[in-house]
Structure 1
Amino acid sequence: MRVPRAVPQGYGTRPARPAPAAASAAQVRAAAPGVAGPPAARRARPPRAPFLLLVVGLLCGGLVSLLLLNAVLAQDSFRANGLRKEISDLRIQKETKKSANMRREMPDAVARSNELQGLGPDWDTARVIDPDKPAVGVAGDVQTPAGQERVPGTGR
């Protein structure tokens, strides 16, 4: 069972509306026809057109600047993509030339190139390597590396 709560005095009741005040004398004179009194003062509102033009101008300026910024960034992006493609093409060319050089340095290709130039093997100084015989030689018979000459009297 529910017990209703007591409402304190003053709550839940509406305040009475005050009675309309009697019109002041100035209002009665202004309302009366033919009586000249001071003109009724209107509230002056600031003009809206300059403010609206300012807001629209700022919005248009911001939009134009964003479009220009976007165009500049897109142009740089196109340039970067072009440079990336150029670099990848150059890498492919480098690898192609490297593999072509490696093929030219293979013994079979060197032999064919020598035959085309009229060169052949020098059978007079050829050494035959026999796996059954140990390599015999004097320390001075060792060949010098390419591009280096032996210096007489030094043993090198």
Structure 2
Amino acid sequence: MRQLTRSETDVRRAAPSRGARPVRVPRAVPQGYGTRPARPAGPAPAVAPAAKVTAAAPGPAAPRRARPPRAPFLLLVVGLLCGGLVSLLLLNAVLAQDSFRANGLRKEISDLRVQKESKKSAIMKQEMPEAVARNNELQGLGSDWDTLRVIDPDKPAVGVAGDVRTPAGQERVPGTGR
């Protein structure tokens, strides 16, 4: 029988016909990659210890594939996790400090608003007619409900309710009573 080349074993062609495409056949795994020696199906045969030693001694030992050390990678991961945790704790502390400051400022603003409202209410109480009359009596000023007093810098303040004067620099408008 004729020996097939590698390219011939990979592709098997269908019978020549119109529109036929080649069929790909997977390659066999090269020897040495992922293949294991077959184990016997039954129990392991009893071999004398001397036979084991003599069987292993003649051939060179197969080199074992060295694993990379895990300790540096583990230390790197643990270090990164610890660094992240510490940075989160510091960030949390800074934000909490700002939060305390903001709460203090809010309390101070509310206290100032309360003071403003109390002063505003005190001023409103002092502007009420009863309080104004009481302050006038304390200063020696009495209420005069019978006369209307117009203050004029050139003339003394004497007049009656019917006496209406125009302010200085203005003329009377005829027919309006002003």
CA deviation after TM superposition for structure 1 residue 109, in Å: 0.7
Q: Which runs of 5 or more structure 1 residues have no equivalent in the other structure? A: 1-16, 21-28, 128-136
Q: Which residue of 2 aligns with 1:89?
A: 111
Give the TM-score taking structure 2 as reference length: 0.53
Distance in 1 (CA, whole Å) between partners of 2:148 and 2:110 is: 47
Q: Equivalent pairs: percent with the same residue? A: 73
Change (3 A) 1:153 1:126: closer
Q: Which residue of 2 aligns with 1:13?
A: none
Matched positions, count: 117
2:97 to 66, 71, 75: 75
Contact kept, 8 Å, 1:103 with 1:109, in 2: the verdict is yes
Give the TM-score taking structure 1 as reference length: 0.60
Contact kept, 8 Å, 1:114 with 1:120, in 2: the verdict is yes
Q: Which residue of 1 aligns with 2:6?
A: none
CA deviation after TM superposition for structure 1 residue 122, in Å: 3.5
1:62 to 70, 84, 89: 84
RMSD between superposed Cα atoms in Å = 3.4
Query: Which structure 2 residues correspond to residues 3-152 of structure 1 after superposition, within 5 A?
Result: 31-32=53-54, 35=57, 37-122=59-144, 125-126=147-148, 141=164, 149-152=167-170
Between the two structures, name the one with larger relative contact order (CA 8 Å, sep ≥ 6). 2
Q: Which residue of 1 aligns with 2:171?
A: 153
Q: Which runs of 5 or more structure 2 residues have no equivalent in the other structure? A: 1-38, 43-50, 150-160
Give the helix-richer structure, 1 or 2: 1
